[in-house]
Amino acid sequence: MTGGMIGKATLVRKLDAPWRCTWSLYRMEPPLLGCGHVIASAFTSLDSELTTEIWKADSSGIVDSFTPLVKPVRGLSHEDALRDAGYELVVPITQEAGA
């Protein structure tokens, strides 16, 4: 992404992932390609690459589509993937404290 940030990705909550990966639900302001909520998923792909993808989700954290909304990012960082899509990560204070 070039040209700076276009929005904010606010962490709603971390999710229990069905596979060995990390999932978190984010609220996107403004929406990312029409999606007000997304899940960022960091995992090891079938070809052993460390990858983070962003998927369309609803506000309860249910994935609408496992097709990545934007180009996957190498590495296991939700923040890097969100930044690459043009969003600044916002973590509410209650989330930082582990509440």
Does residue 97 sit within a domain?
no
- Percent pLDDT > 70 in the chain is 90
Whether a cis peptide bond, with omega within 30° of 0, leads into 30 is yes
User: What residues form DSSP beta bridges with 44?
Assistant: 50
Residue at 64: amino acid letter: D
Does residue 2 sit within a domain?
no
Does residue 50 sit within a domain?
yes
**Global pTM?**
0.86
**Domain tally for the chain?**
1
- The answer on pLDDT for 97 being more than 80 is no
pLDDT tens string 23-52? 999 999 999 999 999 999 999 988 889 999
Domain that holds residue 57: 7-91
Least Cα distance to 84 among 96, 71, 93 occurs for 71
* H-run or E-run covering 10: strand 7-15
Does residue 78 sit within a domain?
yes
